[in-house]
Amino acid sequence: MRLLIPALTLLSSALLAQWPQFRGNPALTGVAPAGAPPAQLKLLWTWEGGQQFESSPILADGVVYIGSGAGDLVAIDLASGKTKWKYAAGSEIGESTPAIANGIVYVGDLKGVLHAVNASDGKGLWKYQTATEIKSSPVVAGGRVLVGSYDQNLYAFEARTGKLAWKYETTGPIHGTPAIKDGVAYVTGCDEHFRAIRITDGKELFEVPSGAYTGASPLLAGNMAYFGTFGNEVYGVDMAAKKIVWRYEHPVRKFPYYSSATLVDGKVILGGRDKMVHAIDARTGKGVWTFTTRSRVESSPAAAEGRVYIGSNDGRFYVLEAATGKKLWEYEAGAALSSSPAIGQGKVVIAAQDGRVFCFGG
């Protein structure tokens, strides 16, 4: 038994060092529980894809998965940067980021098809056609895979077979990714509502009018949800009270928020189209700090060990100190970085709009 305990510890650490979906976990926190990169980064490899990336990478079992503008779901070896396989979706993959669970990778494309692909060899397992494009990223929970579509529906499928379990119709396109907590999916919509929908049967439990078009996905922490809107504000929503308890708006620069947030040491951190990264007190909604880049920030930040990793459309990848917003490091990629970083196994991976995937580590 004394030999088994270290083995179990190693297995647990390996599982924690994954980034298996958009924002890293079903609550969409953007925080790496383990496997943080070293303080000093260097470029380990670059993968050339030839087409732009709007999708973000995920990491699982030593493999990077990402959808490309060329219409491929690609698997890349994390250690070497070599291609393991490509799956041809048949249509461009836009902002839908893959999710992996139980050996299956899921991703949506711009023709509205959700694809399920065998993670080991890239063979297609099943697909489902929605009425129009999928930019939402799939999330797997309770044996089901959930994804939003621009046809205004949130879909739930049996993860193994692709059988439709239910769909819930909203009154506008669903761009964001559903966040999951305690058997409930929370989704922000272009119909200006924040909704809670039960995963077992698709029943709406409550909705909170937001009064603004929302492309970002919600971050869940405790009883709170946080997200930015195209109304130039960031909201803190109390899910128990079913109401918005604070609104943040920059005192000078009034621009939309497309980036999804992370939460670090009581601060909600996200990018804005005002070219800035914003840190907001999660309790009060008051601004703590901002960091200015040279272009809009649509990338969603990832966080690990007090550091924030984020791309900007100025073509630079930044590492910031979460407490102060101080720049710790930057890398000039040479092309817009609207993709969001993934963290795991001591590495951080991000993709650029010129078709390159970058891996950084020690």
pLDDT at 3: 44
Distance (Å) of CA 338 to CA 64, 256, 357: 18, 15, 12
For residues 317 and 330, the answer to whether their CB atoms sit within 8 Å is: yes
- Report which of 31, 35, 30, 29 is spatially closest to residue 17, judged by C-alpha positions: 35
How many helices (H) and strands (E) the chain has is answered by 1, 32
Would you say residue 163 lies in a domain?
yes
pLDDT at 337: 98
Residue 154 pLDDT > 80, yes or no? yes
Q: What is the mean pLDDT of residues 135-149?
A: 97
Upper half-sphere CA count for residue 97 (Cβ side, 13 Å):
29
Would you say residue 116 lies in a domain?
yes
Determine how β-strand 42-48 pairs with β-strand 58-60: unpaired
Higher pLDDT, 76 or 34: 76
Q: Is 86 helix (H, G, I), strand (E, B) or coil?
A: strand
pLDDT at 162: 98
Residue 10 pLDDT > 50, yes or no? no
**Phi, then psi, of 7 in degrees rounded to 5:** -65, -40
Q: What is the largest CA-CA distance in the chain?
A: 62
Bridge partners of residue 141, in order along the sequence: 144
Would you say residue 5 lies in a domain?
no
Q: What is the mean pLDDT of residues 62-82?
A: 97
**Which residues have a Cβ under 8 Å from the Cβ of 295 and sit 6 or more positions away?**
275, 312, 313, 314, 315, 336
* pLDDT band, very low/low/confident/very high, at 14 (cuts 50, 70, 90): low
What's the token pair of residue 133?
A: 């494009």
User: What is the average pLDDT score of the chain?
Assistant: 95
**Phi, then psi, of 12 in degrees rounded to 5:** -60, -45
CATH no. for residue 216? 2.130.10.10
Would you say residue 257 lies in a domain?
yes
Rounded CA separation 247/139 (Å): 27
Residues 245-302 pLDDT 10s: 999 999 999 999 999 999 999 999 999 999 999 999 999 999 999 999 999 999 999 9
* pLDDT band, very low/low/confident/very high, at 193 (cuts 50, 70, 90): very high
pLDDT at 4: 47
Q: How many domains does the chain have?
A: 1
Would you say residue 169 lies in a domain?
yes
- Report which of 192, 199, 149, 142 is spatially closest to residue 169, judged by C-alpha positions: 149
Provide the sign of the torsion angle of the four alpha carbons 94, 97, 98, 101, taken in this order.
Answer: negative
Would you say residue 64 lies in a domain?
yes
pLDDT at 16: 62
Q: What is the mean pLDDT of residues 10-39?
A: 84
Would you say residue 165 lies in a domain?
yes
pLDDT at 22: 98
Q: What is the mean pLDDT of residues 343-353?
A: 97
- If you write DSSP's letter for every residue of 117-150 in order, what string do you get? EETTT--EEEEEE-SS---SPPEEETTEEEEE-T
Upper half-sphere CA count for residue 21 (Cβ side, 13 Å):
27
Would you say residue 77 lies in a domain?
yes
Percent of the chain with pLDDT over 90: 93
**From the centroid of its chain, how far is CA 189?**
16
- Report which of 236, 288, 234, 247 is spatially closest to residue 265, judged by C-alpha positions: 288
Residue 5 pLDDT > 90, yes or no? no
Domain span at 235: 19-361
pLDDT at 34: 85
Percent of the chain with pLDDT over 70: 96
* pLDDT band, very low/low/confident/very high, at 15 (cuts 50, 70, 90): low
